[in-house]
A and B are shown apart, each in its own frame.
Chain A
Amino acid sequence: MKQDRAGTETRWRRFGDSYFVYRLRRDRLAQLCLALFVLMMASILAAPWIAPSNPYDLAQIDLLDSELPPFWLAGSEPGFPLGTDAQGRDLLSTILYGARVSIAIGLGAVMLQAMLGTALGLLAGYRGGVIDTLLMRLVDIQLSFSTLMMAIIIGAVVKTAFGGAFYGDYGVVILILVIGLSEWPQYARTVRAKVLVEKHKDYVDAARVLGYSGRRIMLRHILPNTLSPILVISTVQIANAIMAEAALSFLGLGMPETQPSLGSLIKSGFDYLQSGSWWITLLPGLFLVAFVLVVNLLGDWLRDTLNPRLPEGPL
């Protein structure tokens, strides 16, 4: 037991001494982003406990409260700090719950992309030859469709085939599938390029000489050495997936209004922009922009930290 605790302590100390923490200590912007990110994630995850009301609970919604302004404007009510939307839902609660949906879709889609793209990229890079050519042409074809077009087609087909109610119930899953299946080539290309570098290193030859199976070499020897680029593009891809979800919801192909994501919340407020209730669109929009910006900045910082040889500044 005692030894265990000592081991954990040295591990913490080693983490404290690492280049990662050193870079973080010196970079104010990264600190700010990390703090904002942690704050946002914490409030999103704790939404059921800290949100003033539950926007999914119809009993708590009163239509008479609709379109109340946020607290700094005249006519606001103390129970609704950021005002209400057109259905009388508290906007702060709806943003927090909506962000949960957005991030769930973003993470799910990125996990799907990462698994699919990494597996295919690894296979293409390691096996080479015909498999490589076929998979990479598939990537080219996939990249020539835009995500939005794919999503519109799939969304429209599912909606007509199974009806709007089904789409409402399984909206999260469908959006994860659509975004995940249309953005995997990013991963496949990055992983393949890294595998082509790693494959010619002697440790891979040593593994072959020791008689390890191809699968073992790919998963246990090459894959761990391709993780840092995967991690870096994942941050960018999460931001992209959340934006794609917002765009789809805005076009009416995303989450239904009863279970709004940030995108569908922005869309629902869009109709009231002209009538003076600008906060219904603007506040979730600002939250979305801030979140995506923070994730992107953190991703850039992570890339610079993991690849210290890259020149400073944007590439």
Chain B
Amino acid sequence: MTEPLDRAALLRLAAGAAVVGAIPDGVRKALTVDFPQPHPKWRFVFVNHALTNPFFVPTKDGSYDAAALLGTSVEWTGSTSSDVGEMVKAMRHAVATQADGIAVSIVDPQAFNGPTALALARGIPVVSYNADGGKGNTRLAYYGQDNYQSGLELGARLVRLVDRGDVYLFIATPRQQNIQPRIDGALDAIRDSGSPITAHVVASGVDVGRELTKIEATYKANRGLRGLFAVDAGSTAGVAAVMRKHGLHERGVKAGGYDLLPATLRAIHDRELDFTIDQQPYLQGFLPVLQLFLYRYSTGLVAPADTNTGLHFVTHANVSRYLTTKSRFEGSSSREQYPVG
């Protein structure tokens, strides 16, 4: 991990640059604004529902990069299997150990309300990232995709791809607040379209191997289906694998899903999948650290603000940039590198 540049380091860099007659603009600006001033090395804790899920690799990288830039530290904790109990326990531990800020993926409508209120009462800022399903949760801000919106857009695209027939929508963990709204949105869009499409929702589970088995079993039991779609990274990779294994794209079956796992991107390149949705996982890690830092640095005057990290459809037309670029931004490389490539 790269250490943050302190003022002395910047001066050394400037002095070196002066020898060769060029002071980079960024360095010149840094020398004049004196930011940040010396501050405590705040500890920010990320509470996550799928710690080993490859989706969160760039999110973690984003958080580490922001921490390095700002001179803070980041810890990741939570669950590997969307176990809300584990997550709540991890969050309460962060509060008990006086973390300086907490970012939590709120995947349950109620369970995080208590720990959030407790943390705020103790002066610990809490923000949510990736999932924001708390009903009445008092977190300060959310960083991530609008999941209902993305589901609605997925449904609208599905309708354009599949004009009629049965389609299957796979969701790892139904009712989980980061992915259930996507299913809800997709179903609303299918109904709104009026197309003669029958959508079936299938719970695929959190285990990647079981997801694949479930998706394949669904296909074998319904060989006349017209589409396979998923609303989480693991299920999308599973859909891609089944599409490839059975040559379904050649048979006119349409498919799509979420996130940028390497298998998903390769399947799009090979036209096994029609699309995937990029929700900027790097920003979901970078921005919470940045804003928690600003909150602390300004003693609460700069309040965290919601950020929609967006919705970008990756298709065969634009996937090559993802495949040819190895970077921390999409989780394809752990190397710090500029320019990326």
User: Do A and B share a complex?
Assistant: no
